[in-house]
C-alpha cells in the first residue's frame, strides 16, 4: 500500500521537483500540494495524508504555526520538516510543536525517502547534518522552558503579525481571517503593546528575526 504524501512549500519548482522524485518510488504517491501554511492545514484535513513534508518559511501562515494547527487537530499527524533553517531554535520549536522529522533542504534524495519511510513507520528522524549540533542541547532543553518564537503572542496574534509583515493591510487580513477590519486593528495594537514596538516596520523586523516570515 502506498504512502500518501502532502507537499507544503511556497516554491512551485521545489514542489514539482519533490513530486517527481518521490513518485519514482514504488511505495509513495503525492496526493496534494500547498503553497502556504494555511493551505497545508486545510489540505491535511481534506486528504488525511500519511506524511506531510512541510517547509518553515511560507506566506500567510508559516510552517511552525501550521504544524501546531495540524497536530492540534490530529495529534497522530506525521510531519517531516524540510527546511533551509538549521538553527537549533527552529529545530526545537518544530519538535515542540509535534513534528516527527527534520531535514535540511540540501539533503540527498535517498535521505528524504528514508526519512519519509521512517516517520511513516512511527519513528523519529533527525538529519545527521544537524544532529551533532542540536541533540545534546535539545535533550537538555526538553524539561526546561526554553525560549519560544513570539512567546508573548497568542496564535491569532502570530497570524496577524505574519500577515502584517508580509505587507497586507487591515482589510486584506480581515478577509483572510474572516474577521472585521476593526478587530484586525485591535490585534495590531495589542501586538505592538506586548512587543513594545511602535511601527509596522519594527513589527516586520521582529517577525523576520523570529522566523514567522522569510520576507
DSSP 105-173: TT--HHHHHHHHHHHHTT--EE-HHHHHHHHHHHHHHTTS-PPPSSTTS-HHHHHHHHHHHTT--HHHH
Does residue 59 surpass a pLDDT of 80?
yes
Residue 82's domain comprises 3-141
> Among 118, 141, 164, which residue terminates a domain?
141
- Do both 83 and 115 map to the same domain? yes
pLDDT digits (tens, 9 = 90+) for 98-154: 999 999 988 888 999 999 999 999 999 988 777 776 666 656 655 554 455 555 788
pLDDT digits (tens, 9 = 90+) for 60-72: 899 999 999 999 9
- Do both 60 and 115 map to the same domain? yes
- Do both 36 and 122 map to the same domain? yes
3-state SS, residue 28: strand
Three cell numbers, residue 196:
513594545
- Do both 124 and 198 map to the same domain? no
Average pLDDT, the chain: 87
- Do both 54 and 124 map to the same domain? yes
pTM over 0.75: no
- Do both 95 and 121 map to the same domain? yes
pLDDT at 146: 46
pLDDT digits (tens, 9 = 90+) for 140-187: 655 554 455 555 788 889 899 999 988 899 999 999 999 999 999 999
Average pLDDT over residues 25-42: 95
> Among 108, 141, 174, which residue terminates a domain?
141
Is residue 55 in some structural domain?
Answer: yes
Does residue 79 surpass a pLDDT of 60?
yes
**CATH code (residue 204):** 1.10.10.10
**CATH code (residue 8):** 3.40.50.2300
pLDDT at 133: 65
- Do both 73 and 125 map to the same domain? yes
Report the domain count for the chain.
2
Is residue 147 in some structural domain?
Answer: no
Amino acid at each position: 500500500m502506498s504512502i500518501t504524501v502532502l507537499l507544503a512549500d511556497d516554491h512551485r519548482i521545489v514542489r514539482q521537483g519533490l513530486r517527481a522524485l518521490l513518485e519514482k518510488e514504488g511505495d509513495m504517491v503525492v496526493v496534494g500540494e500547498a503553497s502556504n501554511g494555511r493551505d497545508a492545514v486545510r489540505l491535511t484535513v481534506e486528504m488525511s495524508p500519511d506524511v506531510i513534508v512541510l517547509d518553515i518559511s511560507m506566506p500567510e501562515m508559516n510552517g511552525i504555526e501550521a504544524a501546531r494547527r495540524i497536530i492540534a487537530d490530529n495529534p497522530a499527524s506525521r510531519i517531516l520538516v524540510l527546511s533551509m533553517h538549521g538553527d537549533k531554535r527552529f529545530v526545537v520549536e518544530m519538535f515542540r510543536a509535534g513534528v516527527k522529522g527534520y531535514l535540511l533542504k540540501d539533503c540527498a534524495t535517498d535521505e528524504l525517502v528514508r526519512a519519509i519511510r521512517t516517520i511513516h513507520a512511527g519513528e523519529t528522524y533527525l538529519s545527521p547534518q544537524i544532529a551533532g549540533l542540536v541533540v545534546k542541547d535539545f535533550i537538555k532543553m526538553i524539561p526546561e522552558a526554553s525560549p519560544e518564537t513570539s512567546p508573548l503572542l497568542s496564535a491569532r496574534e502570530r497570524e496577524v503579525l505574519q500577515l502584517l509583515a508580509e505587507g497586507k493591510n487591515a482589510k486584506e487580513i480581515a478577509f483572510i481571517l474572516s474577521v472585521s477590519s476593526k478587530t484586525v486593528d485591535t490585534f495590531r495594537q495589542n501586538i505592538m503593546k506586548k512587543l513594545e514596538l511602535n511601527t509596522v516596520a519594527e513589527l516586520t523586523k521582529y517577525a523576520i528575526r523570529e522566523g514567522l516570515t522569510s520576507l
